[in-house]
Amino acid sequence: MDGIHDLGGKHGFGGSLEERDEAEFHALWEPRVRAIAGLMIGQGCFNVDAFRHAIERLDPVAYLGDGYFGRWLGAVEKLVEEADRRPRPGLFPDTSTLRVIDEPPRYAPGDEVVTRKLHRSGHTRLPGYARGCQGTVALWHGAWVFPDTHAHGEGENPQHVYAVRFDARELWGDAAEAGTSVHVDLFESYLAPRPRFEVPA
């Protein structure tokens, strides 16, 4: 979803990193909430994709105002509420998300691809800044559970994942810093082969 969480490239979300907050936690409840979320996912009450999507569905003001573990708290509360306050263990017994599939990978390192302009209202792991952009496959990562369906209880639908390299100019135009690039890990269905212009014979 095109929500507040999709922060890559956004302007205005905090300034300099010269003075930065090094703390892992700021209050005693934070490590407890972190542990609770891990224990709930670990016993299969919900899966990690649904958990991430619950964070994305928080009120944007809470997302920014409650801090990192405040988001975790809000997400677990939301998932527990949506389970009618009776979450059931064992719904997602396999916390691993790496899979072996029959389909061979469609792309190989060096292939030129273009990302689709997907604007899903649900969960997705295609960042907004990398949509509709040309890139080059750098690494093949194997096949993984597809978060876009898994987050919604619509099955694992595993597919191949690739690290795709984007030149900064492709992402940011004239504002790009020279000599920089971004690699993004993308599911195969986010990608299409880069169109080639046919030279008439």
Partner 1 sequence: MSDHDHAPDPLAIRAEALEKLLTDQGLVTAEAIEGVIRHYAEDVGPMNGARVVARAWTDPAYRERLLENGREAIAELGFGGAQGERLVVVENEPQVHNVVVCTLCSCYPWPVLGLPPSWYKDPAYRSRVVREPRAVLREFGLELPDETEVRVWDSSAEIRYMVLPQRPVGTESLSEADLAPLVSRDAMIGVAQVEANRE
Joined tokens for residue 103: 């389909």
User: Which of 32/120 has CB closer to partner 1?
Assistant: 32
User: Which of 5/116 has CB closer to partner 1?
Assistant: 5
Joined tokens for residue 35: 């542990």
CA distances 171 to 10, 125, 129, 133, 181, Å, are 12, 17, 7, 7, 9
**Residue 150 Cβ vs partner 1, minimum distance, rounded to whole Å:** 11
**Residue 195 Cβ vs partner 1, minimum distance, rounded to whole Å:** 24
User: Which of 112/172 has CB closer to partner 1?
Assistant: 172
Q: Are 117 and 133 in contact (CB under 8 A)?
A: no
User: Which of 12/200 has CB closer to partner 1?
Assistant: 12
Interatomic CA distance for residues 57 and 6, integer angstroms: 12
Residue in the block written with tokens 């750098």: 138
**Residue 153 Cβ vs partner 1, minimum distance, rounded to whole Å:** 19
At a CB cut-off of 8 Å and minimum separation 6, what does 4 contact? 56, 60, 63, 64
**Residue 194 Cβ vs partner 1, minimum distance, rounded to whole Å:** 20
User: Which of 175/199 has CB closer to partner 1?
Assistant: 175
**Residue 63 Cβ vs partner 1, minimum distance, rounded to whole Å:** 9
Q: For 143, list phi and psi in degrees, rounded to 5.
A: -105, 140
**Residue 173 Cβ vs partner 1, minimum distance, rounded to whole Å:** 11
What letter represents residue 46's amino acid?
F
Interatomic CA distance for residues 63 and 49, integer angstroms: 17
User: Which of 180/201 has CB closer to partner 1?
Assistant: 180
